[in-house]
A = this chain, B = another copy of it.
Amino acid sequence: MEESPGGPSQKKVVAVVGGGLVGALNACFFAKRGFDVELFETREDIRQAKIVRGRSINLALSHRGRQALKHVGMEEKIVSQGIPMHARMIHSLNGKQSPIPYGKKGQAKRENNRLVIYLSSYPVKLMCRVNFVFLRSDGSEEQVEADLIVGCDGAFSAIRKQFLRRSRFNYSQTYIPHGYMELTMPPINGEFAMKPNYLHIWPRNTFMMIALPNLDKTFTCTLFMPFEEFEKITTGDEVIEFFQKYFPDAIPLIGVDALKRDYFRLPAQAMVSVKCSPYHIGSKCVLMGDAAHAVVPFYGQGMNAGFEDCIVFDEIMEQFNEDFSAVLPEYTRVRVPDDHAIADLAMYNYIEMRAHVNSKWFLFRKHIDNLLHFLMPKTIIPLYTMVTFTRTRYHEAVARWHWQDRVINRGLLFSATGALLGGSFLLIKNPPDINKLLVPAEKMWSRLVALRTS
């Protein structure tokens, strides 16, 4: 398994396009299998660079991602650089903070771009600043020859554009109406301005702010808001007025001057959800990570799903003895439904985080689910737990979640039916008035039907 069958002179060449998180990790997976790996990245080598350009974003590393890192011996190194998160912390409008535990051991989180530095202890040729030429033979650009091309070049993948030219390639890109903006919350007297081991959330229906801790004791606050709302705010005073109205407790922590200044530093950024299928062309090319399935960032699974791609591909490589012509179609068959499921879940959470986290019903159901999980830990497992703390396939987690919901709602349905019929026996001791029965019956049923279908 460590050596390719034909010996070093006949090593197959794998070209990994994109040296981001998934590309870098994937390069290590292929290197570990003994392939001749070339990693293509247009940005300069950040191990040598003094200033790293490009955006940085806080990411949550959970079970799936850790399993992938473990495979190449990187788990502890990365986790030790992160800050564990044990719970969500909900900030109400009046400044009250209420923790909602995740129900299981915490997550670690980390910053972008560091992975490529650590992981290069594997024998990977880093081909910096090379324009990758694909399916083109006019001789005008450097050509790359490889036995397998792995497109890990992110949400706006150049490799995927070549897929789009072919027939029967299903593809969707959906921009959500919200943009995001990052603001920094500095340390206070050298310490975190808020409790560090939490994902801080300010849910405000149409918009939302979250804050995640950094190693330098700052928090990165991310404000999610429809673009049209961002555009309404045009002066520093309007920024303060807006925060006064919705996030008053954050103003002193970010600072009035910083807030007035930083709000206008960069325009709000767009968020896109990308789904496609198939992930492969013949036995030559495959898409992974954001290139195959960019998700909106509301389930904390973007990086984890990309890392899990590497394990899943590796497992199939093992199963089919590294025969690309069998591995690639199987990878599409196995992985597409899971990636589509997590893309949908992230979109679902986009609504849930803003709206429901606030609602009594949502909290009630969270408690019911956690209680049932406590009573029947093998039967009822909250969706969040399956997604974040297990490697249950995403689409199976979703199917199981719907099944659990049906079971729980059927329980309610039976109880309610009993109550209704019990009530009607009392009524009909005197001559029964059919309307009296029908009105509450119809009401109750439509409520239960709404529950079942919502």
Is the beta-carbon distance between A172 and B169 smaller than 8 angstroms? no
Q: Which of A87-95, A257-265, A293-301, A411-419 contacts B (4 or more CB under 8 A)?
A: A411-419
Q: Tell yes or no: A171 within 8 A of B by CB.
A: yes
Is the beta-carbon distance between B170 and A173 smaller than 8 angstroms? yes
Q: How many angstroms between the C-alpha atoms of A417 and B175 in the bound complex? A: 45
Q: How many angstroms between the C-alpha atoms of A425 and B437 in the bound complex? A: 12
A438 (CB) vs chain B CBs: closest residue: B417
Q: Which residues of A, 393-428, contact B by the 8 Å Cβ criterion? A: 413-414, 417-418, 421, 424-425, 428
Q: Which of A34-42, A376-384, A445-453 contacts B (4 or more CB under 8 A)?
A: A445-453
Q: Tell yes or no: A168 within 8 A of B by CB.
A: yes
Q: How many angstroms between the C-alpha atoms of A445 and B417 in the bound complex? A: 11
Is the beta-carbon distance between A421 and B449 smaller than 8 angstroms? no
Is the beta-carbon distance between B434 and A418 smaller than 8 angstroms? yes
Is the beta-carbon distance between A167 and B175 smaller than 8 angstroms? yes
A445 (CB) vs chain B CBs: closest residue: B445
The one of B167, B417, B441, B449 in contact with A452, judged by C-beta atoms closer than 8 angstroms, is B449
Q: Tell yes or no: A76 within 8 A of B by CB.
A: no
Shortest beta-carbon distance, A447 to chain B, in Å?
12
Is the beta-carbon distance between A172 and B173 smaller than 8 angstroms? yes
Q: Which residues of A, 247-305, contact B by the 8 Å Cβ criterion? A: 270
Contacts of A452 in B (CB 8 A): 449
Q: How many angstroms between the C-alpha atoms of A42 and B34 in the bound complex? A: 50
Q: Tell yes or no: A432 within 8 A of B by CB.
A: yes
Is the beta-carbon distance between A438 and B414 smaller than 8 angstroms? yes
Known: A167-B175, A452-B449. A442 touches B421 (CB 8 A): no
Shortest beta-carbon distance, A183 to chain B, in Å?
22
The one of B173, B270, B428 in contact with A171, judged by C-beta atoms closer than 8 angstroms, is B173
Contact surface of A with B, Cβ cutoff 8 Å: 167-175, 227, 270, 413-414, 417-418, 421, 424-425, 428, 432, 434, 437-438, 441-442, 445, 449, 452-453
10 contacts between A and B (CB under 8 A): A167-B270, A168-B227, A170-B173, A171-B173, A414-B438, A414-B442, A417-B441, A421-B424, A421-B434, A421-B437
